[in-house]
Structure 1
Amino acid sequence: MFGKQMPSATRQKDEGEKPFWISFADLMTAMMILFLVVMVASLSSVTQRIKQAEQGEKQRTQDIGRLCERLQLTAKNSNTTILVDCKDNRISFGEAGRFGHNQYSLNAQGQNALQEVVPLILDAADSEEGRKWFKQVVIEGFTDTVGSYLYNLHLSLQRSEWVMCSLLDSRSPLQIGLSAERQQQIRSMFLAGGVSFNNAKGTNEESRRVELRMQFYGLKEKEGALVPEVPVFTNIEAERCQLAMSR
């Protein structure tokens, strides 16, 4: 009798353990499936964001290209001395934008070209693409390689500041016909910056020049960009500009 009861007890023990191990295996399988689902969803989300970023950058490039090409065509029809480079987003004035040796004021031809191109830039900034991407315009003054670096750095800054003052000084011909709104737009968009004799041209005469470099927002920069405050043209700055313009 005792010999017959032993196998029965063993079978009951085995049968009692089997449901536990089956449940544990099912749990591990379910967790693995859940892990795979989460990984697939994460990879899909990352891929979607990359695709959206690529599409956004492509759209940005196309918008800026259209804006620059329109500006290029309009400037060419307005003044043949105005040269718009859509590859580097630069605006130059050829011989009209050159300075004399150790001088930092443009001649009448250069002032005329500047007077004609500024409204075109403001119109471009007011376009559909411009409101999305146009950030600012940096006025860059250049010098030749004659003289010390520090002297030329100061001279290049004087040249860019002179152009900036020409845009802001109420006595300047550039202010003729500009509304108060346009004047504020110039203050918020244009920035003076000297660069010395970097990017020198083939001759000293060609190197002594001024250029306008257009800058545009990047995708991430545009998303976090705040509305820029319009700089206040203080009395000290007005006096500096009047002194510069009178020389």
Structure 2
Amino acid sequence: MKIQKQENYWTSLSDIMTGLMVIFLFISISYMLQIQKKQKEKDKIVEDFQNTKVELYKELKNEFESDFKKEKWHAVLDEDLSIRFLNEKVLFDYDDYILKPEFKSILDDFFPRYLNILMQKKYKDKILEVRIEGHTDSKGDYLYNVELSQNRTRSVLSYVLNQTNILISNHPLQDQKKVRFWLIANGFSSGRTLDNDGNYTLESNKPEDYQRSRRVEFRIVTKTEDVIEEIIKKMQD
């Protein structure tokens, strides 16, 4: 009788342990599935963001590739979504910030097409800023070149804003506000000089290409911080 009670006791304990193991197994599987789901959601957010940049790059390239030639605009499109206008002879006169007629003509052709791409539904909510950047070479006083480059970008901004007011006049008010929110002018002086390959001299440690360094850029800044915040939120949920 005593032996039978002991057997029943160990059988019951074994059943309990088996039950606990099954419960623990289900909890582990459920946890792993949740982790996998969050990882997939995070990967999708990153993938969508990367695809947007790739698609935007391709669309800009297809639209402007024939215009970028040296004999026409002399501009380049970088993978960071910046368009660099490099022909200083048609941009501004030496030591001046008044737009030359040749550059106005380029902007008249470039900016409406550029804005039409950015205003597409698939892009416009993923853009944080459209920066108009002015850059000089390292010759001359740095602070003087800060003022010169800033004045040049303001001249460009003023000119394209006049275009913008006409181009977006038929768009919804919210879209008009969005475009004005995007546009910003920055003068960098010689802080971001370029080498002969078009890379920053600070990173490449190569000699400066003075002509390449004297330029105006239109740079698209996407909502990277929003993407990171969304990933963090998904991981915390």
Q: Give the TM-score normalised by structure 2.
A: 0.71
Residues 133-155 of structure 1, C-alpha deviations (whole Å, 9 max, x = no match): 33321111111112343333333
Residues 138 and 61 of structure 1: CA distance in aligned 2, closer, same or farther (over 3 Å): same
Structure 1 portions without partners, runs of 5+: 1-10, 225-247
TM-aligned CA deviation for residue 64 of structure 1: 2.6
Residues 191 and 71 of structure 1: CA distance in aligned 2, closer, same or farther (over 3 Å): same
Match of 2:131 among 127, 133, 138: 138
TM-aligned CA deviation for residue 160 of structure 1: 2.1
Asked if 1:45 corresponds to 2:34, the answer is yes
Residues 23 and 213 of structure 1: CA distance in aligned 2, closer, same or farther (over 3 Å): same
> Aligned residue for 1:160?
153
Match of 1:210 among 182, 196, 216: 216
Aligned residue type for 1:81: W
Aligned counterparts of 1:109 and 1:41: Cα–Cα separation in 2: 65
TM-aligned CA deviation for residue 211 of structure 1: 0.4
> Aligned residue for 2:233?
none
CA RMSD of aligned residues (A): 3.1
Residues 144 and 40 of structure 1: CA distance in aligned 2, closer, same or farther (over 3 Å): same
> Aligned residue for 2:80?
88
Native 8 Å contact 1:167 1:186 kept in 2: no
Which structure has more relative contact order (CA 8 Å, sep 6+)? It is 2
Native 8 Å contact 2:127 2:221 kept in 1: yes
Superposition pairs of residues 161-176 of structure 1, within 5 angstroms: 161-168=154-161, 172=162, 174=163
Aligned counterparts of 2:83 and 2:220: Cα–Cα separation in 1: 8
Asked if 1:124 corresponds to 2:130, the answer is no
Aligned counterparts of 2:99 and 2:46: Cα–Cα separation in 1: 38
Q: Give the TM-score normalised by structure 1.
A: 0.68
Native 8 Å contact 2:67 2:73 kept in 1: no
Residues 213-246 of structure 1, C-alpha deviations (whole Å, 9 max, x = no match): 112234953986xxxxxxxxxxxxxxxxxxxxxx
Count of aligned pairs: 209
Larger Rg: 1
Residues 38 and 100 of structure 1: CA distance in aligned 2, closer, same or farther (over 3 Å): farther
Structure 2 portions without partners, runs of 5+: 195-207, 231-237
Aligned counterparts of 1:216 and 1:86: Cα–Cα separation in 2: 15
> Aligned residue for 1:33?
22
